[in-house]
Amino acid sequence: MSATTLHLVGSDPEPVTGKAGGELPVTVVVGDDHPAMRSSLRSLLADVSGFAVVAEAGDLALTRRHVEGHRPDVLVLDLRMPDGSSMETISDLRKQVPCLHVVVVSVDDTPGFAQQAMTAGASGYVLKDRADEDLPRAVAAAACGEEFVSEPVAKRLAQVRQSLTEGRLSSREAEVLRLIALGHTSSEIAKQLSLSPRTIETHRAHIHRKLGVKTRAELVGYALRCRLLET
């Protein structure tokens, strides 16, 4: 996909030049289980020249079918869906449709969730109360292969990433650390991340070695300092 030219200003964005120098629109699938919110997100994007919402879904099963059938440029997906894990769905779809870009929409401004979404393969994280302003920008950025995070989360996410970089943890190790600190067992973490328990134990060992800690309490302390458990 060729680069997309962006001209988004305020609440009344200028046209977005689509693929192939404007000949093709940036195609979007919207997944959200609340009909009113889904309609609002669709209308918001439909009002931007250069975007085309090709399908919408109220659950993850239908979202998967639409993505596999339409092969959109961007999937806009609610963080919490009723029939499974949005994080797992993002990871699975990014493997099945490598050209897909994902923008997560959420009411949760926790940087740990934003980090988890990015680890799963999302390139955007938009707060629903800022969707009018941020969602067109996030979709346009995603279509370019760039990252966009709503400002209230972005600053804290940057702090999280700096702390993790100082600890030399990979994104996957950071997510395993977060789940360990939340009290999940290796088996539960393996199921949630679609990995084997043995792989989780390997990640655990690497985390302990890299951080120089021995106990779970020390891991929880590190996760708190990195703001992975903020609510």
pLDDT for 92: 93
Query: H or E segment at 135?
Result: helix 131-143
Q: What is the count of structural domains for the chain?
A: 2
Residues 151 and 171 in one domain: no
- Residue 30 domain boundaries: 19-155
Q: How confident is the prediction along the chain (231 residues), in pLDDT tens digits per residue?
A: 333 333 333 333 444 555 545 567 999 999 999 999 999 999 999 989 899 999 999 999 999 999 999 999 999 999 999 998 998 899 999 999 989 999 999 999 888 788 888 888 999 999 999 999 999 999 999 999 999 999 989 988 887 777 777 778 887 888 898 899 889 999 999 988 888 999 999 999 998 888 878 888 888 888 887 777 764
How far is CA 212 from its chain centroid?
30
pLDDT for 175: 86
Summarize pLDDT for 17-68 with one digit per residue, the tens: 555 455 679 999 999 999 999 999 999 999 898 999 999 999 999 999 999 9
Residue 212 covered by a domain: yes
Residues 70 and 175 in one domain: no
Residue 70 covered by a domain: yes
Instruction: Give the pair of three-digit tokens for residue 114.
Output: 């934003």
Phi, psi of 195, rounded to the nearest 5 degrees: -125, 170
- Would you say 127 and 150 are in contact if contact means Cβ atoms under 8 Å apart? yes
CA distance 120 to 123: 9
Residue 11 covered by a domain: no
- Would you say 101 and 142 are in contact if contact means Cβ atoms under 8 Å apart? yes
Residues 93 and 32 in one domain: yes
Q: Hey, which residues does 125 pair with through a beta bridge?
A: 104, 149
CA distance 11 to 25: 20
Residue 162 covered by a domain: no
pLDDT for 170: 83
Residues 150 and 175 in one domain: no
CA distance 82 to 29: 18
Summarize pLDDT for 119-129 with one digit per residue, the tens: 889 999 999 99
Residues 70 and 107 in one domain: yes
Q: What is the CATH number of the domain that holds 114?
A: 3.40.50.2300
CA distance 191 to 33: 23
Residues 181 and 93 in one domain: no
pTM above threshold 0.95: no
CA distance 114 to 169: 16
Task: Choose among 156, 157, 179, 178: nearest CA to 223.
Answer: 178
Q: What is the CATH number of the domain that holds 188?
A: 1.10.10.10
pLDDT for 4: 32
Residues 217 and 114 in one domain: no
Last residue of a domain, one of 105, 121, 155: 155
